[in-house]
Amino acid sequence: MAIPEHEDERPTVHFEDRMSDSDALMWAIEKDPMLRSTITTAMVLEGPVDTERLHRTFERASRVVPRLRQRVRSNPLSVAPPRWEIDPNFDLRYHLRAARAVGTGSMADLLSMAAPIAMQGFDRARPLWEATVVDGLSNGRTAIILKIHHSITDGVGGVRLMLELFDLDPDTEDRPMPDPPPVHVMSQTERFVDAFQHETRRQFGLARRAGQGGVDGLRGVSYDPGGSLVATSELASSAMRLLRPVTAPLSPVMRRRSLSNHFDVLTMPLDVAKKVGKSVGGTLNDTFVGGVVRGMFLYHRAHGHVPPALRMGMPISVRGAASMDTAGNAFVPARLEMPIDVEDPEELLTLVRRHCVAARDEPANQLVEHVSNLLNRLPTSLVTQVFGSMMRGLDFQASNVPGSPLPLYLLGVPVQAVFPFGPLAGAAVNVTLLSYQNELNVGVNLDPAAIRDAELFMQCLHTAYDDLLDLV
C-alpha cells in the first residue's frame, strides 16, 4: 500500500451503500459465535495524549469516514445484501472508551486487557467498531486497542482508514471539523424498492458479463475446443478444492476449540526478512509464512507428533489499482494443506513459496463473489453449519498486511508499534503480520483450548524465525 509522503496527499476512500456478497456472508455466519470476524489492533504510543483532542480526532474521523457512523440494516424480505446506513443515535461515548493499565503496565498486561475485548461480540444495532484508550503503561506509554468488524474492511483497507487518525508529521495542526453525514432511516417501502433496484442492476450486469463471456467462450471453443474443455475442467476442479468440506483439523495435538483466546506478540527486522525471502527467489510473505510453518513443525515435534501437513487458511488480496481506495474486503479466503515435516529451513521456504503461489493462482478464486451470492440465498442456519464445518477444519491462519514505512504520530505523539490480531474463525491460531517502518510486528491470537502451552508455542515461533533470519 502506498503511504502518502505529505498530509495533502491523503487518499480519499470510497464507500459502497451495500455489503458485497462475500461481506454479507461473513456477516451472516456469525450466528455461530466461533465464526466471528473481529480484527483487533493494539497501537502503542510513546507518551500520553490529550483526552479532549483525542475525542475530537475520533469525532472528525467518524464524519470523514462514514462507515464509522453506519450500522448494518438487513431486510428479511429481500435477497439483496444488507445496507450500510447512518446510525441516527450515534454516540461516540459508546465507541471511544478509557481504561487504566493493569499490573505494571507491561506489554503482557496490555495484551491481557485486549484479549477479552476481542472476544466480545459487537452490538449489531450500532456501528461495528470500538476503541479503548489505555494509559498508565510502563515508561509513560499509552495504547489504543482498536476493535473493528471484518465486514467493514480487510487489513489493507483498514490501514488506509487509520490514516484518518494518524499524521505523518508531529507538528501537524488539527484538521478542520466537517459537518456530520446526513441521516436518513429508510421506511420499509423504501427498503424494498432500493433492494429491488439494486438486484435488478446487479443481475443485469451479471447477465451482460456472462453474455460477453459466452461469446468469447464460443470463439475460444471454435479456435481451440480442446483447450477450452481443459480450462473448464481445471476451473471445476479448482472450485471443488475451494469448497470441499473438511470436518476436522489435521493436527493431532491442536484439535479442541473454544470461544476463548490468548494474545502474544513478536517483532523482527523488515529488511532482513525481505532478504531471506529473496534468497530463495521469493518475497517477504514467504519468510513470514515459512516462519509460521516451521514454528508449527517445532511445536508438534516438541509434543512428539509431527503430521506430514497442516491445513492453513490465508487471505489472498485481490485489490487492484481500481479498488485500492475502496472500503470493504478484497480478498480470497484460500485454504491449502501445507507440508510442515521439513527439517531444512531453505527447503521449507522453497516449498512454502510453491504452495502459496499455487493458492494465489487457483482458477476458482474468481468465483468467490458469485458463490457467495448463491450461498446468501440459502437459510442462514444451513450456511452457518456448512461454513462452521469448513472453518473448524483449519489448523492455523496466517495473514500479511503491509503497513506504513514512515513514522506515524497521533496528536504529535510518536507511534511506537502497531500489533494486529486477526480472528480465529475456527482455527487453533491466527498469526498476523503488519509492517511498520523497518519492523515486522506479529500478533498471535491463539485458542487456549487448542494450544494449552502458549509459552512453548511462542518459544517455537521465536526459534523458527531465528532459524530463517540466520539464512542471510
377: Cβ–Cβ under 8 A, 6 or more apart, which residues?
A: 79
**CA proximity to 423, closest of 454, 457, 387, 399:** 399
pLDDT in tens, 368-403: 556 556 665 666 666 666 666 667 789 999 999 888
Q: Which three cell numbers stand for residue 19?
A: 455489503
Please say if the pLDDT value at position 431 is more than 80: yes
Instruction: Give me the domain span that covers residue 216.
Output: 190-243
- What's the CATH code of the domain at 276? 3.30.559.30
Considering the domain architecture, whether residues 126 and 275 belong to the same structural domain is answered as no
Q: Tell me the mean pLDDT in the region 149-159.
A: 67
Q: Find which of 77-81, 257-261, 316-320 is predicted with most confidence, using mean pLDDT.
A: 257-261
Considering the domain architecture, whether residues 290 and 158 belong to the same structural domain is answered as no
Q: Tell me the mean pLDDT in the region 351-355.
A: 93
**CA proximity to 397, closest of 450, 318, 351:** 450
Considering the domain architecture, whether residues 65 and 139 belong to the same structural domain is answered as yes
In a domain, 71, yes or no: yes
Q: Say how far apart CA 255 and CA 202 lie, in whole Å.
A: 42
pTM, full prediction? 0.85
Q: What is the largest CA-CA distance in the chain?
A: 73
How many other C-beta atoms are found inside a 10 Å radius of the C-beta of residue 212? 10
Considering the domain architecture, whether residues 150 and 102 belong to the same structural domain is answered as yes
pLDDT of residue 374: 62
Structure confidence at residue 24 as a pLDDT band (50, 70, 90): confident
Q: Which three cell numbers stand for residue 449?
A: 483450548
- Cβ–Cβ under 8 Å, residues 312 and 358: no
Higher pLDDT residue, 279 or 324?
A: 279
Q: Say how far apart CA 321 and CA 199 lie, in whole Å.
A: 26
What is the total count of domains within the chain? 3
The residue written with cell numbers 444488507 in the block is 82
Considering the domain architecture, whether residues 99 and 200 belong to the same structural domain is answered as no
